[in-house]
Amino acid sequence: MKKILVTGGLGYIGSHTVVELQNSGYQVIIIDNLSNSSLDVLEGITNISKTPPAFERLDLRIKADVADFFKRNQDIEGIIHFAASKAVGESVENPLLYYENNLNTLIYLLQECNAYGIENFIFSSSCTVYGEPDSLPITEDAPVKAATSPYGNTKQISEEILKDTCSVSALKAIALRYFNPIGAHETAEIGELPAGVPQNLVPFITQTAAGLRKELSVFGDDYPTEDGSCIRDYIHVVDLAKAHVIALQRLLSEKNETQFEVFNLGTGRGSSVLEVVNSFEKTTGEKLNYKIVERRPGDVISVYADTKKANKVLGWKAEKTMEDALESAWKWEKKIRNIS
């Protein structure tokens, strides 16, 4: 069994990826500092896969601790790196935290990759690198625009660090640019656990339906779209998790065409905020209390992926529907709120 390190493996996307790795026969070791996750997730992963992954609570910002970890785990064959701060608003208020947490940690990991000859690296990137796109759907060749937040900037800089490192070492890396992950595992053993007020649409919808939030605010209905609300490419988190396993297998079997590759991960279809709201109501039978409010500064009108490269080159395709995602998200919300 190949040993794979998953950083941030108790987070939302990380935990679902750990499950898919274990289901595919990999031995997983998780590093997480629990700053935005919970140890309960470890139990959820184990309940699904029947295999408890190895876990170490470790802060990747502490270089000596990172070095010590790799000294004790010299048999790691690949890394999937999720651990990062990810709230756009918080990054604007506290840019140094984001630069330290998202860049230093990557550098320390790559230094250990060089030291121990670890050549396979999957990086959790984002469609935020594209900014307001010039044309839709967005291909991997679309220009990377000046970042509108320190969070977005850390993703751009991280990709540049990886590209530069690959050019002078044996490292092979794939950056996966996610669009909008939603949903939860069908077992409702793991799902999204936003800290405080959710920044993303679907957790806000499910919390509103569960009575935690008074109402959902839809930011603007006067955009140049069919129903006036913003459009995003919402992808089921389990589909996203499976893409990481396929990307890792691509590197391990040396099928990569260049040392550094980039793939968009989305469905290729845009859905408006109001479409998601209506779909949730239809799928679950729950009536949502929502109101239209002013536009939110910085919101891009429409973003959705061109997935041809991921489909043809990576050999991956999103299979689950919006209804699957919303149904699983609601099932998860009801479980954690003890709603029957």
Catalytic site positions:
151
CATH code for the domain of 169: 3.40.50.720
Q: What's the rounded Cα separation, in Å, for the pair 183 and 166?
A: 34
pLDDT at 300: 85
Q: Residue 189: inside a domain, yes or no?
A: no
**Buried b vs exposed e over 193-217: b needs ≥16 C-beta within 10 Å?**
beeeebebbbbbbbbbbbeebeebb
Q: Residue 187: inside a domain, yes or no?
A: no
Q: Residue 304: inside a domain, yes or no?
A: yes
pLDDT surpasses 80 at 298: no
How many domains does the chain contain in total?
Answer: 2
pLDDT at 291: 97
Are 69 and 127 in a shared domain? yes
φ, ψ at 107 (rounded to 5°)? -60, -45
CB 83 within 8 A of CB 60: yes
Residue 287's domain spans which residues? Answer: 201-232+268-337
Q: What is the chain's alpha carbon radius of gyration, rounded to the nearest angstrom? A: 19
Within 10 angstroms of residue 104's Cβ, the number of other Cβ atoms is 15
Q: Residue 46: inside a domain, yes or no?
A: yes
Q: Residue 158: inside a domain, yes or no?
A: yes
Q: What's the rounded Cα separation, in Å, for the pair 340 and 333?
A: 11
pLDDT surpasses 80 at 132: yes
Provide the mean pLDDT of the chain.
96
pLDDT surpasses 90 at 297: no
Q: Which of 3-12, 45-54, 95-104, 189-198 shows the lowest mean pLDDT across its residues?
A: 189-198
- DSSP β-ladder status, 76-81 and 120-126: parallel
Whole-structure pTM value: 0.97
pLDDT surpasses 80 at 110: yes
Instruction: Report the pLDDT averaged over residues 75-99.
Output: 94
